[in-house]
Every structure is written in structure tokens, then in C-alpha cells.
Structure 1
Amino acid sequence: MIHTSNIRSLVLTAGILCVISASTASAQTVASCPLQPTVSTKRQTLNCQPGLSITVERGAHFHFADRNRDGRVDAIVLDSKAALVDVDSSRVRGGFEVVTPQAIAAVRGTRWAVDVTGGSTSVLVLRGRVAVNKVSTGQGVTLGRRQGVDVDSSRSTLHVNAWGQSRINALMARLGQ
């Protein structure tokens, strides 16, 4: 269960491992998330541990958190652009979260994308199920394959939608998929 009251603050203060910027990320290893060589200048891929892979769009503003302080990344705080997260639940214990200014998306094991643009966050599930909670209200929804939700900071209700192939393709192209 995701508890949204003050969760963003908790994630930010509970053991941030590293902050990277787009200009220096390609030359670094991020805590337990070494960069993998990529052909494209549009994205970078980090394999944080066996069973956890994160692809971030070039120029994304993000940092990692180790909330339980076990030396492993268990959350990414994403402030802009897109990230594709692939979690193998048989290898990653305790799940993984993507925290944005508008939403918290959490899973035990799946593949999903999160896009932060302006004042909103979009979440798309490619495999498995993802719980998404709205930071401003605590309202939550669960998404399945090919479903998405757009989250803003207002008090409006969340609406789960089946994403069309063109919208999926556009986001996945930004992430090299």
C-alpha cells in the first residue's frame, strides 16, 4: 500500500544515493546503477541491480533513493522528462517506486514508463500492474497492460485510459524502444 502523505518528503530525505545531471551522467556510475553504453544521445540506460533496469530520456532531472538504507536503489525521484522502469519481482525485493511532483507509481515487478512534462505526470504500463497515487489528494488507481493515467496537481479525479498505439509509440520512441 502506498501512503502519499509526505511520501515525497520521505523519499527525498530517507537516503538519497546520488544526484546526476544529463551533462555528467554518461561519464559516471550512479551508486549501484552503472550506465550501459548506448548508441543514442537521446537516452541512457542504468542497470541498478540484477532485475532492475531504468532507461531515462537524455536531459531528465532525477535522482535515486535508498529508502531502507540497504545499499540498493528502491526509488527514482523524477522531476522532468521520461523514464522506463523494468522490475523483475523475482530478483528485486520490496518493489520499486517512481516519485514525481504529481504522482507516486509503485510496483512489485513489471515494466512501465513515466513522463513528467510541465505540471503533469503520465504513467503507462507495458507489462504487469502499477499502483498510481495522486500526491495532492492521495487518490489511487491501479493500471494494467496498455493502460495509462495523466496526473496533475489539482484535486480532480484520476481516470484510467487505454492508451492508443500512437501515444504509446511516441513515448517509447523517446526512450529508444
Structure 2
Amino acid sequence: MPMRILTLMPAFAWFLAIAPSAAMAQQVNGCVQSELTNPARVVYTCEGGLVLEAEAAAAFDIGSGSQGRPQSAELSGKGVLVEVEPGSGPFQILTPQAIAAVRGTVYAVDVEDAVTSVFVVRGEVGVSRPNGSEAVALAPGEGVTVTTGEPLVVKRWPQEKVDRLLARFAR
């Protein structure tokens, strides 16, 4: 190796060690993005008490919003756990099959193939079709599976199903 490269290598290594990683703290539509492991997921911490925790492989896009806080996000594959501070304003997850809207709660949305599932951990979530029809309200422990052509039926989810879903977010 040329002497110049050998001289620069320690300086470059030192820079990498102390410089913050771009993957560790990026801005995405007013939210700070960070990564977690075990299981792998991406966390978006937004103004006004909004936290979105998406599976690493999630097909997920955060919309822009007012006052530095998004008011919606689109999810077309995998899952996201949503925490909205009560009184912080509306927020909704848009999927190909459903809209999950909330004002203050913790809930999970999962999209797989042509199915959207929504489960509420805390608070209340309204779920409807993308055109706003067939709206249902979910309370803690309740979920709904949304598919084209099937009615929206609110059910209390078995603990095993809840545990499997929340384990994807290290809960």
C-alpha cells in the first residue's frame, strides 16, 4: 500500500468511530429515524408525541404534515406499531384495504397480501375501508381483519395472536 493511504487510514477510522451514523438519526418528514434490532425495525419519533415503529422490511411511507408532525402514513406491506399521545391530534395509517385512524392510543397495523389487520393495545381506533365506508371502532384487546368483499367484524383477539404480533416489535 502506498504510504499516503496507510497514513490516512487511522484518521479515517477515528472519524468513523466518532461521527454519528446517518442511518442512526435521519430526518424523515419531520420525524427522527433510528434503527433497533432484535427484531430489526425502524423507529420514527415525531413531534407531538407520535412514534411509529415499523418492521425493517415494511413497505412504509410517512406523509408530510402540519407543524412538523405527519398526519398520515401509508403501509403496503408488513407491520407498524403506532403510539399517539392523547390530545396530540389525529393520525391515520392508510393501507390498500383500510384506514386506521386515531386520536390517542397504541395500536398495530399489519398488511400481508390483500389483508390488513388492525389491533388496539390501548385507546380507541376507528377502522374503515379506504373510501371511508363500513367504519368500526376498536377498543383495547380488539382487532379487525379487512379484506375486499368481506364485512368488517370486530373481535377480541386471542392472547397467542396478540403475543405473536407484538413480538415483532419486541413487546
Partner of 2:110: 115
Q: Tell me the CA shift for residue 76 of structure 1.
A: 0.8
Alpha-carbon distance in 1 for matches of 2:115, 2:121: 20
Partner of 1:80: 77
TM-score normalised according to structure 1 size: 0.78
Residue 47 in 1 paired to residue 51 in 2? no
Alpha-carbon distance in 1 for matches of 2:105, 2:25: 28
Residue 163 in 1 paired to residue 157 in 2? yes
> Any idea what SS the aligned residue of 1:135 has?
coil
Partner of 2:119: 124
Alpha-carbon distance in 1 for matches of 2:168, 2:158: 16
Alpha-carbon distance in 1 for matches of 2:93, 2:33: 19
> Any idea what SS the aligned residue of 1:105 has?
strand
Q: Which moved more, 1:106-115 or 1:134-143?
A: 134-143
Partner of 2:15: none
Alpha-carbon distance in 1 for matches of 2:78, 2:24: 17
Equivalent residues of 2:143, 2:157 under 8 A apart: yes
Question: What stretches of structure 2 of length at least 5 have no aligned partner?
Answer: 1-21
Residue 99 in 1 paired to residue 97 in 2? no
Equivalent residues of 1:80, 1:116 under 8 A apart: yes
Q: Which has the higher helix share?
A: 2
Count how many residue pairs are aligned between Structure 1 and Structure 2. Answer: 150
Residue 153 in 1 paired to residue 148 in 2? yes
Question: What stretches of structure 1 of length at least 5 have no aligned partner?
Answer: 1-23
- Percent identity between the aligned chains? 37
> Any idea what SS the aligned residue of 1:170 has?
helix
Which contiguous aligned blocks of 4+ residues in structure 1 show a shift greater than 4 angstroms? 24-27
> Any idea what SS the aligned residue of 2:170 has?
coil
Q: Tell me the CA shift for residue 26 of structure 1.
A: 5.7
Equivalent residues of 2:127, 2:136 under 8 A apart: yes
Answer with 1 or 2: which has the greater Rg.
Answer: 2
Classify 1:40/1:29 alpha carbon distance in 2 versus 1 (closer, same or farther; 3 Å).
Answer: farther
> Any idea what SS the aligned residue of 2:109 has?
strand
Higher RCO (Cα < 8 Å, 6 or more apart): 1
